Amino acid sequence: MHKQDKLYIDGNWVSTAGRQFLDVMNPATEEVIGRIPAATRAEAGQAVAAARAAARTWGCTPVKERAAYLARIHQGLAARADEIARTICAEVGMPLKLSRRIQAGLPAAVLESYVTLLGGYAFEERIGNSLVVREPAGVAACITPWNYPLHQAVAKVAPALAAGCTVCLKPSEVAPLSAFILAETIHEAGLPAGVFNLVTGTGEEVGEHLARHPDIDLISFTGSLRAGRRVAELAAGTVKRVTLELGGKSAAVVLDDADLPTTVKSTVGACFLNSGQTCTAHTRLLVPEQLYEQAAALAVAAASAYTPGDPHDEQTRLGPLVSAAQRERVRGYIRQGVAEGAVLLTGGAEPPDGLATGFFVRATVFGKVTPEMTIAREEIFGPVLSIMTYRDEDDAVRIANGTPYGLAAAVWSGDPERAERVARRLKAGQVDINGGAFNLLAPFGGFKQSGYGRELGRFGLEEFLEVKSIQLRE
């Protein structure tokens, strides 16, 4: 049982005045595995005040010193990697084998990347008679989701601290336990008081207060489209800078010269990762009309390897969804797909065999999905793949771009130049070609209603910097 009864404010662990707590549930067992404080608005305000008081000094701290703090935090997280993997496996349900590599490994790698980046980043440059300087934006509110809880926190906190900003972190109350590990690690690294603050609670109470608070200079938010709109609305009152990373409905475009078995297997894996609870999940498989039958058979075969099961079992590839509400939401989309005429090739809304307990959903593949169907347009956030057909390249691009989202996409082809040509036409923030690997130094973010701003690498750092021109007399 992970019992957390304190918030981390101004370098200290402090008891919440409200004495209200929120339960954290294991989605595989439906057991309560932890409890966290539900901070009040007053306590969120205390965290902001601490961050504001620390901002001036931290913003003037030499870059080498900031990098040294980040290096110590990186070392601390790396030392607790197994604990992190097991904690997130328990609170999110990602299979432990994957949790070790992704939920624990990725945040440490992001931190290390910013230590390296700071060694060569130019915070000043001369342009003509102007000295252009990049300064910390000030106090940053980082509001993070539950699907990759520590990664999403580190992807905001690391560049914020690197830039010289102070931070108020508000993690999702659904999966908040790894945020306490981060706070403990930061405390042990000796970061000055007030530079990092952790306030847990609900979005309505804590998140909205941070979004509208006049002493917050910048908000970096990852979550649903609905919540992102609300954050932007509240932030507009004080004209804050806002970075939004929202939903996706990513298409994998399979050209007629692609290696179809490899393509379909990879797309199914990209769709079902973390039980489909991934904003960049490739949930639409677009294939030429003449390849539909073959692609459908391959997808069903690939999906058969994703049998829901205990996430602590090393053989499990598909864990539960994070909550009962999420499970019912996904099952509702599956029922809607059937009702609107999509062909259910495998899976379905019925509970998986032998799993009466836990928020599990069958690995589901739909065929003959058309662009106007709900399952082709809305983010499901579950293990549901839609196979769609197209006539030619122009039709494929039209369908791929035909949703309100634009976070990610993929192109598969035997001709790399042809694949790149199609990739350039897709309205998405990142496009993989033939399974191109995720790059921690490349910008991450979306087009259209997938949000604005970028994370990771130099682009993520610059979201936390203001640019000033100093005109010099020559």
- Taking 70 as the pLDDT cut, the residues of the chain under it are 1
Could you tell me which residues come within 8 angstroms of residue 307 by beta carbon, excluding any fewer than 6 positions away?
316, 317, 318, 352, 363
Q: Please name the residue that has the structure tokens 């915070």.
A: 123
Rounded alpha-carbon distances, angstroms, from residue 92 to 13, 27, 174, 274: 25, 7, 8, 9
Q: What is the DSSP string of 243-295?
A: EEE----EEEEE-TTS-HHHHHHHHHHHHHGGGG--TT-EEEEEEEGGGHHHH
Distance, in Å, from the CA atom of 113 to the CA atom of 166, rounded to the nearest integer, reads 19
Same structural domain for residues 237 and 265?
A: no
279, 455, 462, 463: which is the annotated catalytic residue? 279
The CATH number covering residue 157 comes to 3.40.605.10
- Distance, in Å, from the CA atom of 281 to the CA atom of 53, rounded to the nearest integer, reads 40
Nearest to 250 by CA among 275, 285, 300: 285
Same domain, residue pair 356 and 335: yes
Please report which helix (H) or strand (E) contains residue 130, including its range. Answer: strand 130-136
Residue 81: other Cβ atoms inside 10 A? 16
Say whether 199 sits in a helix, a strand or coil.
coil
422-464 tens-digit pLDDT: 999 999 999 999 999 999 999 999 999 999 999 999 999 999 9
Q: Strand, coil or helix: what is 95? A: coil
How many helices (H) and strands (E) in the chain? 16, 23
Sheet with 130-136, side-by-side order of all strands: 124-127, 130-136, 465-471
Which pair of structure tokens corresponds to residue 357?
A: 């307990």
pLDDT at 1: 66
Select from 287, 268, 317 the least CA-distant residue to 99. 317
Whether residue 314 sits in one domain with residue 197: no
SS3 389: strand
Clarify whether residues 195 and 93 are in a common domain. yes
Q: Which tens digit of pLDDT belongs to each residue from 93-121?
A: 999 999 999 999 999 999 999 999 999 99
Joined together, the tokens standing for residue 108 give: 């440490």
Pairing mode, if any, of strands 124-127 and 31-37? Answer: unpaired
User: Looking up tokens 């970061």, which residue turns up?
Assistant: 191
- The 10 Å Cβ neighbour count of residue 204 is 9
- Is 66 inside any structural domain? yes
- Domain identity same for 199 and 340: no
Judging by DSSP bridges, how do beta strands 31-37 and 139-143 pair with one another?
A: unpaired
| Same domain membership, residue 193 and residue 261 | no
Q: Say what the pLDDT of residue 16 is.
A: 87
Shared-domain flag, residues 154 and 266: no
pLDDT for 19 equals 80
Active site residue 125: no
Structure-derived torsion over alpha carbons of residues 286, 291, 293, 296, reported in degrees to the nearest 10: -40
CATH number at residue 410: 3.40.309.10
d(CA 315, CA 328): 26
Q: Which amino acid is at 109?
A: A
Q: Check if the beta carbon of residue 311 is closer than 8 Å to that of residue 91.
A: no
Catalytic residue check, 455 = no
Q: Is residue 312 part of a domain?
A: yes
Nearest-CA neighbor of 123 among 132, 114, 115?
Answer: 132
pTM over 0.85: yes
Same domain, 162 and 289: no
Q: What's the domain count of the chain?
A: 2
Q: How far apart are CA 27 and CA 173, in angstroms?
A: 14
Catalytic, out of 112, 245, 462, 463: 245
Using an 8 Å Cβ cutoff, are 140 and 219 in contact? Answer: yes
Find how far residue 205's CA is from the centre of its chain: 22
For residue 386, what are the β-bridge partners?
Answer: 284, 366
> Three-state SS for 64?
helix
Q: How is residue 25 written in tokens?
A: 């549930």
57 and 135, same domain (yes or no): yes
Query: Which residues form the domain of 18?
Result: 2-246+450-471
H runs (alpha helix) in 129-218: 149-163, 177-188, 208-212
Does some domain include residue 445? Answer: no
Domain identity same for 265 and 155? no
Together in a domain, 423 and 276: yes
Task: Supply the angle between the helices 393-400 and 416-425 in degrees, to the nearest 10.
Answer: 40
Q: What's phi and psi for 264, nearest 5 deg?
A: -65, -45
> CA 134, CA 74: separation in Å to the nearest integer?
25
Cβ-in-10-Å burial (0-12, 13-18, 19+) of 66 comes to buried
Q: How many CB atoms lie within 10 A of CB 80?
A: 18
142 and 262 together in one domain:
no
Residue 353 in any domain: the answer is yes
